[in-house]
Structure 1
Amino acid sequence: MSLERLAARTPVHVAIGFLAMGGWAVWANAVHGTGAALLAGLVQGSLSGALTLGLKRSVDWLRPRMRGPLAYLAPPLIAGGCSALLLITAHGIAGTPELWATVAVPLAVSFSYIFAYNILRQRRTERSRDA
């Protein structure tokens, strides 16, 4: 299988999200001991993998139901807000010591990703409509 085909597969994106963001959470909580760091990494990695799927699907569902500037802003804000709520709640329940440091990077990455993705898809939709 070519690298290009491999990179397009959803399980690869989920695995990368799990490893990258889970690794970040381990590092952000390392000063609190191995157990706390690994638990934070497992929570963040699992959520990042699931959110990779959820963000894209929710934006793809919301966007066609909106027009104009609202179609550019509302879907990623709604999806990203739900993502933030889920991450903060899950880490709060898990007792993640460095909660804000743990969620800051994954939220910045996911908001950047989902805004860029939504803008590109919305532009494509509008070009198709105009053609």
Structure 2
Amino acid sequence: MAKQDKTFIPTWQARLKMHTRLVSGWLMGAALQCYSCTAQVSNQDCLNVKNCTPGQTQCWTSRVRAIGLVTLISKGCTSECVDDAENYYVGKKNITCCSTDLCNTSGAHALQPATTLALLTVLGSLLLWGTGRL
């Protein structure tokens, strides 16, 4: 009696299912991760990690300051995001966007230190120059 070869050769349907599972698993593992929170006073309370859906390709951070008293921070995933900063009569709103894993770590950026230093230098120079002219 001849021994039968029991080598398994998958059919094209089985191969398709196998490839579909592999690609689906890869896509799910490649989802962007962002920090997520809603209206928190402290950035330390905004470090919950969220797996974004495949269409959500950016992380965002929003910081709203009301009358200079309290700042509320919110973060999350989004499909569309535009950096924005607006001043209102009773407060400020600042939105920042980024597109790498956990890139929205800190609160939304205000002025960068170098920009702040340059503005203070110019303001100081104007004040000094202006007082000598009076």
Do the two structures share a fold, i.e. TM-score over 0.5? no
Considering Cα pairs closer than 8 Å and 6+ residues apart, tell me whether 1 or 2 has the greater RCO. 1
Normalising by structure 2, report the TM-score.
Answer: 0.28
Normalising by structure 1, report the TM-score.
Answer: 0.29
Larger radius of gyration: 2
Q: Specify which structure has the higher proportion of helix.
A: 1
Q: Specify which structure has the higher proportion of strand.
A: 2
